[in-house]
Amino acid sequence: MTLAVEEYPRPGAPTIVLVHGFTQNTRCWGDLPQQLNRRFRVLAVDAPGHGSSPARHDDAGPAEAARLIGEVGGQARYLGYSMGGRLCLQLACDRPDLVEELVLVGATPGLTSPDARETRNRADAALADRLEREGLDAFLEHWLSLPLFAGLDEAGAARPARLRNRPEGVAASLRCCGTGRMEPLWDRLSLLTMPVLLLAGASDTKFATEAEAMAASLHHATGRVDGRAGPALALVQGAGHTAHLEQPGRFLALLEDWWQTRDGVPGHS
């Protein structure tokens, strides 16, 4: 099984791999790939069950999905949003040799309580059943109406792009790669030593708090601009869960400032 990839070439430039959130695909990043392409070779990946990538109907979970992402991304910088952030973090824990740098947006290392994971698995299975019963169009109406996505406008929601997904693929992703299927990674965060940037929308209280907790555990990661150990942590003002789509200018500016301050390289070339 090989995942679908959309490439934005830039000969001689470092590679950055983008991994989207649930119900999205490579066409749901707004103009971020084009902006990043000014300094990177960009690989936007369709996660398992999304876009043009095959669906997993077996018992493969997040670790296998992460392995497949690493297989197509190779040694690179990785930027993942929400579900994609979980998968990029899984890859960083399993194959740190591949992840030169990690940027996580609205992501979590998983649920620590077995009861919470089981509850989440049951809820995701019910959502998958609903999707298969009602169809993708109706499911997206429900999904995008959740408070989590209240800050998205129609352009950011990218409904036409999301409708490129196949219902059976998205349902399989829920059953195989939902948060409840993920073995919690909290105890492995202290092993990561690559540069890490944690981003969340300032209005996304749940994931902003999660990012702060992760920062406390990622104490061997690099990335802080003050020269001390630990990851960088920044909140995107005026944004909720989909910070990169709600405030793309502020989001990109935080990325560029981090790279320029840390690497001494101007943001655009």
Q: Residues 89-102: pLDDT tens digits?
A: 999 999 999 999 99
| pLDDT, position 226 | 78
| pLDDT, position 227 | 75
Q: In what order do the strands lie in the sheet with 99-105?
A: 5-8, 41-45, 15-19, 76-81, 99-105, 196-201, 232-236
Please check whether residue 31 is in contact with residue 248, taking contact to mean a CB–CB distance below 8 angstroms. yes
| pLDDT, position 174 | 94
CA–CA separation, 129 vs 16, rounded Å?
A: 35
CA–CA separation, 77 vs 85, rounded Å?
A: 13
* Sole residue written with tokens 């989590």: 148
6 strand-pairing partners:
44
How large is the average pLDDT for residues 106-110?
98
CA–CA separation, 158 vs 149, rounded Å?
A: 12
| pLDDT, position 165 | 97
Query: Where residue 265 falls among pLDDT bands split at 50, 70, 90?
Result: low
Is a pLDDT exceeding 50 seen at residue 4?
A: yes
Judged by average pLDDT, the poorest of 47-56, 201-210, 234-243 is: 47-56
How large is the average pLDDT for residues 13-34?
98
* 183 CB-near residues (< 8 Å, 6+ apart): 62, 63, 110
Query: Where residue 150 falls among pLDDT bands split at 50, 70, 90?
Result: very high
Is a pLDDT exceeding 60 seen at residue 269?
A: no
103 strand-pairing partners:
79, 197
pTM for this predicted structure: 0.96
Is a pLDDT exceeding 90 seen at residue 229?
A: no
| pLDDT, position 225 | 78
Please check whether residue 229 is in contact with residue 221, taking contact to mean a CB–CB distance below 8 angstroms. yes
User: In the chain, where are the structural domains located?
Assistant: 5-263
CATH number among 3.40.50.1820, 3.10.20.30, 3.40.50.450, 3.30.870.10, domain 5-263: 3.40.50.1820
Per the document, the length of the chain is 269
